[in-house]
Amino acid sequence: MSLATLDTSQHPNLPTASATLFQAKATKKLSFEQIAQHIGRNEVATAAIFYGQAKGSPEDIASLASLLEIPQPILEEQLDGFPDRGKSVEMPPKEPLIYRLYEIVQNYGYAYKAVLNEKFGDGIMSAISFSTKVEKETDADGNNWAVITLRGKWLPFSRF
Amino acid sequence: MSLATLDTSQHPNLPTASATLFQAKATKKLSFEQIAQHIGRNEVATAAIFYGQAKGSPEDIASLASLLEIPQPILEEQLDGFPDRGKSVEMPPKEPLIYRLYEIVQNYGYAYKAVLNEKFGDGIMSAISFSTKVEKETDADGNNWAVITLRGKWLPFSRF
Amino acid sequence: MSLATLDTSQHPNLPTASATLFQAKATKKLSFEQIAQHIGRNEVATAAIFYGQAKGSPEDIASLASLLEIPQPILEEQLDGFPDRGKSVEMPPKEPLIYRLYEIVQNYGYAYKAVLNEKFGDGIMSAISFSTKVEKETDADGNNWAVITLRGKWLPFSRF
Amino acid sequence: MSLATLDTSQHPNLPTASATLFQAKATKKLSFEQIAQHIGRNEVATAAIFYGQAKGSPEDIASLASLLEIPQPILEEQLDGFPDRGKSVEMPPKEPLIYRLYEIVQNYGYAYKAVLNEKFGDGIMSAISFSTKVEKETDADGNNWAVITLRGKWLPFSRF
Amino acid sequence: MSLATLDTSQHPNLPTASATLFQAKATKKLSFEQIAQHIGRNEVATAAIFYGQAKGSPEDIASLASLLEIPQPILEEQLDGFPDRGKSVEMPPKEPLIYRLYEIVQNYGYAYKAVLNEKFGDGIMSAISFSTKVEKETDADGNNWAVITLRGKWLPFSRF
Amino acid sequence: MSLATLDTSQHPNLPTASATLFQAKATKKLSFEQIAQHIGRNEVATAAIFYGQAKGSPEDIASLASLLEIPQPILEEQLDGFPDRGKSVEMPPKEPLIYRLYEIVQNYGYAYKAVLNEKFGDGIMSAISFSTKVEKETDADGNNWAVITLRGKWLPFSRF
Amino acid sequence: MSLATLDTSQHPNLPTASATLFQAKATKKLSFEQIAQHIGRNEVATAAIFYGQAKGSPEDIASLASLLEIPQPILEEQLDGFPDRGKSVEMPPKEPLIYRLYEIVQNYGYAYKAVLNEKFGDGIMSAISFSTKVEKETDADGNNWAVITLRGKWLPFSRF
Amino acid sequence: MSLATLDTSQHPNLPTASATLFQAKATKKLSFEQIAQHIGRNEVATAAIFYGQAKGSPEDIASLASLLEIPQPILEEQLDGFPDRGKSVEMPPKEPLIYRLYEIVQNYGYAYKAVLNEKFGDGIMSAISFSTKVEKETDADGNNWAVITLRGKWLPFSRF
Amino acid sequence: MSLATLDTSQHPNLPTASATLFQAKATKKLSFEQIAQHIGRNEVATAAIFYGQAKGSPEDIASLASLLEIPQPILEEQLDGFPDRGKSVEMPPKEPLIYRLYEIVQNYGYAYKAVLNEKFGDGIMSAISFSTKVEKETDADGNNWAVITLRGKWLPFSRF
Amino acid sequence: MSLATLDTSQHPNLPTASATLFQAKATKKLSFEQIAQHIGRNEVATAAIFYGQAKGSPEDIASLASLLEIPQPILEEQLDGFPDRGKSVEMPPKEPLIYRLYEIVQNYGYAYKAVLNEKFGDGIMSAISFSTKVEKETDADGNNWAVITLRGKWLPFSRF
C-alpha cells in the first residue's frame, strides 16, 4: 500500500513543518491512521496538522516528535505559532479528488442552505466549532464507498 | 417558522421550473421536509430539484404537481429535460452559510485526499454515485449541531 | 440633508423587498436612524434588512409595514424567506467608501490575526454571533470622525 | 500560550524586515502586547510594522532594536524606506479569521455606506487618518468576545 | 426517455435560433439522433447547430424547417449568418458532465502534447478541420461506456 | 526526429519525479511509444506518469527504473505517493496544441451533453474510470490526422 | 462638432439620472463646457454628475433642471441620494482613451509613490479631498496636447 | 527624512538594474529630486528608470553611474535593452497610494473621455508622447496638496 | 453566399446603432465590401462602425442612411456621439476566429516587441494613428490565404 | 543603437535556451535582423525562437551555435524538444507595445470576423499555417510607420 507523501516543489507555500513532518512520515512508513491513533486525534485532523491547517497542542507536538523521531525543539519551533490556514488548496481546485468536494458545494450549496434554514432558522453551520471524519464502507457487491461526515455547531445570526 | 423561498431577481439563471416550484411551495406553506416525505426522497435531493440541480423522475413530477397543485403538464414540460447543473452558486460563494462549506473544502481538501488515498488507493469519491443528508443534533447544553453526511462511491483511476 | 436611496438599475440582484422598502423610505422621507429607532434595532442592522443582508423578525416586519405604510402582507411575503446574503457588494468593491473598509482588511488583516491569536488563542472572531455600530465624533478642531465597532464572539477551533 | 510567528515560506512577498523582526520576537518570546507597550504604540500598529504595513519612526526602530536585540543599523536599513503596503493578504482572503472581516465588509458594506452618508453626508471614512484597536471582553457566561474599533476621519468629497 | 431541452433563462446569450429550434424539437418530441439522421449529419454536429456552435448549410436549414415544422424563411433568417461560437459554455464549466471533459484536458493536456509531438512533429491537431462523434458501448457486466472520438487534421507550424 | 523534453524552469510545479524521468528519457533518447511498449501501458498514460498526472504501479516503477537506468530506490521514493493531479496545465491553456482541445470542450460541450444525455440518461462520462489513446491516420492525399479517443464509464446520478 | 452622448444599452448599471440627463443634453445640444459654465462647476465634475460619479448640490440640480428643461422634482428625486460610485468603468478598462490613463497608473505608479513619499513622507494623495481639470494646449507645430491636472490633499498615515 | 528604497523580495519581477540602482541610491543617501537634477530629467522619469519603466539614454546612464558610483559597464549592460514595462504594479493596485490614482481613473474615466472628446474629437491622449510631473503646494492653513500633471499628445483616430 | 449578421441576444452591450445597421444590411442583402465601396472606406473600418468600434463622419452617416434606407435623423442620433470602444469582444475571446488573432499576440508579442524596438527604438506602434486591411490570396494549389495588414505610426516614448 | 536583451528575473518562465541565446546575442552585439539573415529565417520567427515560441530546425541550431559561438551540443540539448508556447506574454499584456496589438484584436475582432466570413465563408485564419513579418516605412513628413503583416491559411470548418 502506498502512503501519502509531500513533494514540496508542488506546494511551495506550505509551512516548513509540512516538509519536516511528511519526510519523517515517509521514513517511518506510517499512515495517517497510525499517527492519528498514536496522538489520539482524528485522521483528518492529523493530516490537517501536516498540511499546516490545524494546530497541534504541546502534547500533540511531543507525541509526534517522539513517534516520528524528529528532535522535539525543532518541531516545537516549527509548530509553535498559529496556523496560517488556506494556503494548501488553490481554488477552484484542480486536483480531481478535491474538485469533487468543491462540486458538491457548487451543486448542492443552495439545497443545503434551504434545508438547514428550515431546520435551524437563520444562521450558519460553523466550520470552526467543527469536526469531520472519513469512513470506508463496502457494500454487498464489494463496491467501496467513502463517507465523509461534517459536524458543525449551529450559529444563529445575532439580532442587533 | 420561516420557509425557504426564492426571489428570482436574485437568481436570474435558474430554470423556469424553480420559480414555478418555489411559488407553489410558498403558497402551500410546505417545508422541504414535508415535500420530501411526500415524494419519498431526501430533503436535500428535493431542494436540489427545486434549484434545478437534480432530476425528478416522472413519478416525482406527478407527485410534486399533485402536492403543490401545479398543472402536471406544465411541470412536466418544465422538468422534462436534463438539469443544467452548476448555475445556482457563484464561486467563490458569497453567501455565508455556503461559504462555510467551501471553506471546509479549502482548508481540509488535502487532508481528505491524503486520508482517502491511504484508505482506498488512487482514485476519487464520486459526486455522481453519491448521496447526502442533513441531520440536526442537540447536545446536553442545548446547543444545536448540524451534521452533513456525504457518501460517494469510490472510483479507482483506471489503469491503461 | 439627503437620505440614502436605492437605484435598482444599479443593483439588479437585490431582493424585491429592497425596492419596496427604499421606495417607501424615500416617500416617507425617513432616515435609517429614525426607522431603526422605530423598530428598536441598530441603524446598521436596519439598513442591512433594506439591502437584503439581515432578517427581520415578524415584529420588525409589522413595525416596518406600519411606519412605511406598506401593506403588511406584501412585506411579509417579500421578507418571509431567509436572506440570500452577499449579493450587494461586488468584490473588490469599486465604491470608494466601501473600498476603504476593504483596504483596512487588506492592510491590517494579518496584524489583526496576530493580535487576536495572541489574546484569544487559535480561533476566529465570529461574523455571525456578531453586532456592529456606527458612531459620529467631532474633535476639538471641528473635524468629524466615524467610529465603527465590530463585536464578535470568539470561536476557538474545535479539537478533534 | 503560543505567540504569533512568521513562516517566510508562506509569505514570500513580505519585506526583509518581517523575517528579522519575527525571528527576534520568537527568540525573545515576546507578545505584541509586550512589544507595543515597550515602544508606546498600539498592538495592531505594532504588528502592522512587523508585517511591513506601517512605518516605524526612528524612535520606534531604536526601541525595537534595543528590545529585540537586533543591531540597530540593520533594522534601520531594513525599515528606512516607505512601506509597500498591501502585499500581506491575498484577496479574497483564504485565512478563516481574516475572511470573517472580509465577509463583514461584503455583507454590511452598503449598510455602512447608507448610515454613514446619512450621518455625515457625501464622503468616506479615511483609512489613512485612521486608527484601530482590538479589545477582549468576557461576558457573564464566560464567553469571550473580540471587539475591533475602526476610527477614521470623515472626508467629504470636494466640490469642484 | 427524456429529451434534451433548452431553458433560455439559463442561456441568455445563445442565438435566437436556439430557442426556435429547441422549442420545435420539444414539440415534435425528436431526439438529436432522429434529427441528425434526417438531415444527414452527425448527432454532435446537429446539436452544435442547435446551440449556435456550427453552421447549417441551406439544405440543412430547409431540412430542419421541414422536419421541425418551422416556417423556412424564419429559420433561414435566424441561421443565415455565421455562428458566433464560444458563447454556450462558461469556462471553467460548472456543469458536471462538461467539467469532466475539461478535466481531461487539464490532466492529460501535456501528455497529449508530448505524444502528438513525437508522432507528428511540431504542430497542432486542428479543431476546425475536425470532426467528432459519440458512441455507446455496453460491456459484459452490463456497464455502459461513452466513447468520444476527436479527429482533427494535423497542422505543422509553418517555417518562415 | 525530436523527442518531447521537459524544461523545469517552465514547469516549476511539477513533481521531482518529472525532472528525473524526463532527463533520463533525454539521455536514453527514447520516445514515449518505446517507453510505453516497455512497461506495457498506453503512450498517453505513460506520458501522464512523467507529468505527475498518473500513478505508476510498483511494476511500472521497476520497469521504468530499469529501462531508463534510474536507481530504483530513488524512483520509488519519488513516485511512491499519490499523484497531485492538475498542476501541469494552467487554465485556460496558453499552449496552442492544448488550447485546441480546450476549445473543443468550449464549443461542443453542450452538444456532447445533449447527445450523451439522450443516449444514456442523466449522468456523466467518468474521467476516472477512463482511458484514452492517440492514433495517427494518413489520408489518400497524404494529410495526417490525429485521432484521440476518450472512453469513460457512464455514471448515472444516484437517486436519493 | 459631436457631443458626448450615452447609449444606455452599453451602460446598463448607470443610475436612472444618467439617462435623463444625457437625453436632455442631446436634445438641447449642449456641451459639458456649456453646462459646467451654467452651473458654475468644473467640466469634469459636471460630466461626473452625469455618469453618477459625483453629487450635485440642491442648487446644481435646480440649475441643471432649468437649463436642460427637465421637471425639477423628477431630477431631484433621481439625484437625491448619494452617488454609488465606481459602476461606470469596468476595470481593466477596454475603452482605449480610458485605458491610456490606466496604463499611466500601471507604468508610473511606483515612480509616483517614490517621488511623493520623498516629498511628503508616508501617506497618500487623497482622491476625495480632490479636484481635477482638463485643458487643451496647441503647440507651435499645431499639435494638440491634453493636460489633465490631479490635485489632492496630502494625508499622512496616522500614528497610533 | 526617509528616502524611497527597494526591497527586492517584494518586487521579484523588476529588472536587475532596479536592485543595482536602488542599492546605490541608499548608500549615497540621495533623493530622486537630487538624482533628477543631476541627470537633467524629471523626478518621475528618473524614478521610472529605477523601476525599469523608462529608458535612460547613454548620457543618462553615464551620469547615473558617475553620481551613484556604479561601474559604468555594469550599468550599461543592465540598462542597455528596452524596458519591459508594466511589471511593477500588480493591477488592481493593493498599495494605498497607487490605488488612489487607480480609483481616480475608475471614477472619473468616462467623465474625462466625455470632456476630452468634446474638446478634441474622437481620439485619445497619448501615454507615450507624454510627460508628467509632481508638485507640492501648501495652502494658507498649512495643508499640503499634491499636484500631478499629465500631458499627452492628442491622437485622433485615423480614418481608413 | 452568407452575409455577416448580428444577433443582439448574443451582443447585449453593443450600441443601438449596431442593431439598426445590421438589420438594414440584412434586409438589403449587402456585404461589407459593397457598403465599404459605397461610403468610400475600408471594409474593416466599415464593419467597425457597425460594431460601434469606429466613428462615422457626417458624410458616412448620410451615405449609410441612403444606401441602407434608414431614416437619416435616426441614424444621426444613434451615431452622433463618440464610440465607446472595447465592448464587442470579451477577452480572452471565445470565438475561434478571433482567438487565433489573440493567440498570435500571445505567442509572438515579445518577438514583435524585440524586432520593432531594434528597428525603431523605444516606443510603440500606434493603434490609433492606425489602419488595417484584409486581403484574400489563393495559392497555386487552390488554397486560400487570409492576409491582414496592420499599419500604425511609430510613437517614440517622450523624454522628460 | 540599442539591442533587445533579456532580463531573466523578469521572465522566470522562459526556457533555459532563452537565457543562453540572449546572453550570446548581447555578447556578440547582433541584432535580430543580422541573426535572421544568417540563419535564413524571418526576423520575427528568429526572435520567436529566442523566446521559446518557435522551433529551430537542426540546421537553424547549428547555424545559431556557430554565429553566436555557443557550444553546439549545449544548444541542441536546450532546443531539442518541442516549444511549450504561450509562456512569454501574460494576458492581458501589461507591456504598452504588446498591449496595442491586443487592443487591435479587442477593438477590431468582430470586424475582422465579419469581413473574413463574408470573403471566405465559415472558418478561421490559421495561426499555425501562418507567417508574419514586420516592415518599416517612412512617409513624406519623415514619420515612421510600422507595418505588420499576418498571413494565415484559411481553414473552413469541416462538415460532419
pLDDT tens, chain E, 160 aa long: 799 999 999 999 999 999 999 999 999 999 999 999 999 999 999 999 999 999 999 999 999 999 999 999 999 999 999 999 999 999 999 999 999 999 999 999 999 999 999 999 999 999 999 999 999 999 999 999 999 999 999 999 999 9
DSSP assignment letter at C92: S
Would you say residue A91 has pLDDT above 80? yes
What is the least distance, in Å, from the CA of G73 to any CA of chain H?
25
Catalytic residue among I33, I59, I85, I126, which? I126
**Mutation target vs B (from D91, D99, D100; most B CBs, 10 A cutoff):** D99
pLDDT in tens, B9-30: 999 999 999 999 999 999 999 9
Q: Which residues of F are catalytic?
A: 100, 103, 126
C12/B contact by beta carbon, under 8 A: yes
User: What is this structure's pTM?
Assistant: 0.97
How far J137 CA lies from chain G's nearest CA (Å)? Answer: 22
Question: What mean pLDDT is predicted for residues H8-34?
Answer: 96
Q: How far is F153 from chain B (nearest CA, A)?
A: 10
Given a contact as 3+ CB pairs under 8 Å, which chains touch E? A, B, F, I, J
Against chain D, the chains showing at least 3 CB pairs within 8 Å are A, B, C, G, H
Contacts A52 to D, Cβ<8 Å: 10
Instruction: Note whether B45 contacts F128, CB cutoff 8 Å.
Output: no
What is the structure's pLDDT at I75? Answer: 97
Question: Cα(first)–Cα(last) distance of chain B, in Å?
Answer: 55
Report, as residue numbers or ranges, the catalytic residues of J. 100, 103, 126
Q: C84 to chain B, minimum CA–CA distance in Å? A: 6
Residue D123's DSSP bridge partners are D156
Give all strands of the β-sheet with E144-156 in edge-to-edge order. E123-138, E144-156, F144-156, F123-138
- Local confidence band at I157 (pLDDT 50, 70, 90 cut-offs): very high
Q: Is C100 a catalytic residue?
A: yes
Q: How far does Cα F127 stand from its chain's mean position?
A: 12
**Percent share of chain J, pLDDT over 90:** 99
Residue B155 forms contact with E (CB below 8 Å) = no
Domains of chain I (ranges, CATH numbers): 8-79 (1.10.260.40), 96-156 (3.30.1160.10)
Count of CA atoms in the C-beta half-sphere (13 A) of I23 = 8
* Residues above pLDDT 70, as percent of chain C: 99
Sort residue B52 into left (φ over 0), alpha (ψ -120 to 50) or beta: left
- pLDDT value of position H15: 97
Is F157 in Cβ contact with B54 (below 8 Å)?
A: yes
Which residue in chain G is spatially nearest to D122 when comparing CA positions? G82
pLDDT in tens, G1-11: 799 999 999 99
| F136 touching I (Cβ < 8 Å) | no
Which residue among F113, F128, F133 sits closest to B123, beta carbon to beta carbon?
Answer: F128
Residue E101 contacts B where some CB pair is shorter than 8 Å: no
Residue H140 CB partners (closer than 8 Å, separation 6+): none
CA distances from G28 to C60, G33, G70, J58 (A): 48, 13, 11, 71
Q: Which chain F residues have a beta carbon less than 8 Å from that of A2? A: 55, 80-82
**Which residues in chain G have Cβ-Cβ distances shorter than 8 Å to H91?**
91-92, 102, 106
User: Which residues of E are catalytic, by number?
Assistant: 100, 103, 126
The three grid cell numbers given for residue F23, joined into one nine-digit string: 532527463
Burial of E84 (0-12, 13-18, 19+ CB in 10 A): buried
How many residues appear in chain I?
Answer: 160
Q: Which chain H residues touch C103 with a CB distance below 8 Å?
A: 96, 99
First to last CA, chain C: 55
The arithmetic mean of pLDDT across residues C84-97, rounded, is: 96
pLDDT digits (tens, 9 = 90+) for I52-111: 999 999 999 999 999 999 999 999 999 999 999 999 999 999 999 999 999 999 999 999
CB contact (8 A) between residue A81 and residue D5? yes
Residues I95, E84: C-beta atoms closer than 8 Å: yes
Q: Which residues of chain J neighbour F7 with C-beta distances below 8 Å?
A: 15-17, 78, 81, 84
The pLDDT value recorded for residue D141 is 94
Beta pairing, strands J144-156 & J123-138? antiparallel
Confidence of residue J77 (pLDDT cuts 50, 70, 90): very high
Mean pLDDT of D97-110: 98
Contact of C91 with chain B, judged by CB distance below 8 Å, is answered with: yes
Alpha helices in B51-123 (DSSP H): 58-68, 72-79, 96-120
Chain B residues inside the 8 Å CB shell of A31: 118
Q: What is the tens place of the pLDDT at every residue in H90-112?
A: 999 999 999 999 999 999 999 99
Question: Which chain E residue has its CA at the smallest distance from B52's CA?
Answer: E10
Span D14-30, pLDDT tens digits: 999 999 999 999 999 99
**Looking at residue C107, what is its pLDDT?**
98
Average pLDDT of chain F is 97
What is the structure's pLDDT at H121? 98
Measured distance CA(J37)–CA(J32) in Å, rounded: 8
E94, E96, E106 member nearest A94 (Cβ): E106
Q: What is the mean pLDDT of residues F129-135?
A: 98
d(CA B110, CA A21): 15
Cβ neighbours of residue A88 under 8 Å, at least 6 residues apart?
A11, A13, A14, A51, A52, A53, B107, B109, B110
> Between chains, do I104 and J130 touch, taking CB under 8 Å as contact?
yes
Going residue by residue through chain G, which has 160 residues, state the pLDDT in tens, using 9 for 90 and above: 799 999 999 999 999 999 999 999 999 999 999 999 999 999 999 999 999 999 999 999 999 999 999 999 999 999 999 999 999 999 999 999 999 999 999 999 999 999 999 999 999 999 999 999 999 999 999 999 999 999 999 999 999 9
Q: Are strands F144-156 and G144-156 parallel, antiparallel or unpaired?
A: unpaired
d(CA B129, CA F157) in angstroms, rounded, equals 6
* Inter-chain touch A118–B32, beta carbons under 8 Å: yes
Residues of J in contact with E134 (CB under 8 A): none
Three-state DSSP at H142 gives coil
SS3 E20: helix
pLDDT grade, residue B91 (50/70/90)? Answer: very high
Looking at beta carbons, which residues of chain E come within 8 Å of J44? 160
Q: For residue H5, what is its C-alpha cell?
A: 528604497
Which tens digits make up the pLDDT trace of A123-134? 999 999 999 999
The answer to whether J82 faces chain E, any CB pair under 8 Å, is: yes
Start-to-end C-alpha separation, chain F:
55
pLDDT in tens, H111-144: 999 999 999 999 999 999 999 999 999 999 999 9
Q: Is pLDDT of I158 > 90?
A: yes
Q: Measure in Å the smallest separation between the Cα of B160 and chain C Cα atoms.
A: 40
User: Can you name the residues that pair with D154 across neighbouring β-strands?
Assistant: D125
Residue G37: what pLDDT? 98
C-alpha R_g of chain D: 18
* Distance (Å) from the alpha carbon of F124 to chain B's nearest alpha carbon: 8
Q: Which residues of E touch A107 (CB under 8 A)?
A: 96
Do D21 and D50 contact (CB within 8 A), yes or no? yes
Q: Does D112 touch chain C (CB under 8 A)?
A: yes
Instruction: Kindly state whether E115 is in contact with chain B, defined as any CB-CB distance less than 8 angstroms.
Output: no
- For chain D, the average pLDDT equals 97
Residues of chain I contacting H59 with CB distance shorter than 8 Å: none
CB nearest F10 (choices: J15, J77, J128): J15
Q: How far is D71 from chain C (nearest CA, A)?
A: 24
The residues facing G137 across adjacent strands are: G145
Active-site pick, H59, H66, H103, H131: H103
